[in-house]
Structure 1
Amino acid sequence: MSREDRQDLLLTVGVPLSPYILDKGYDIYQLNRYVDWMNAIGYELRGKWLNQTDVHSPIVPRSIDPPELKKINVRDGIRDLYERGSIRKGNQNQDQL
């Protein structure tokens, strides 16, 4: 495939919102240098490993969340991706976080 043929292609990646998984192997700032689009994976933020019944992907923190889970939600996960460098400077949507 020639370089001209690749101009219409996008390189995308799915990245987790869990800070625990991100810390184990995702350099978001470096990934952002090479990909055209990042898809945030917002499911399975919580699961059986917590030894309790819960929703698997809360959108925002809840008053009943213990301190260790206060930032394990979709909203804070997106904010964390931003802080790790997922949005390029000048992106029109960065102020909406």
Structure 2
Amino acid sequence: MTRIPPPRRRRALAWGIAATVVSSLGILGVGIVMLLAITVDENYAWLLLVVLPAALIGGAIGGILGVVGLVFARIDRGGFAWPAVGLVLGAGQLLVATALLNGWFV
């Protein structure tokens, strides 16, 4: 008789997609507010006071989810792409938000 191979674990894929989605939502929020401030009215820029802390939290959570996904990818021996993307988006978002808050772009 032939053995049925065990099902492939998809833990890293799930954690990586979750990290990418959480990080992307923070980037999308800041992008929408910046687009509104540039095109519609400059008075929409005050929304950055609300969106930027949410983006920082989203980037931190996305980075943590990406690290957990990378750990599971290492355990399962494969599937490093989605967790790496989530980790890079989260870390990049934290760097850009920190630069904005410290006034490095002014």
Q: Whose helix proportion is higher, 1 or 2?
A: 2
* TM-score when normalising by structure 2: 0.29
Give the structure, 1 or 2, with the largest relative contact order (CA under 8 Å, sep 6 or more).
2
* TM-score when normalising by structure 1: 0.30
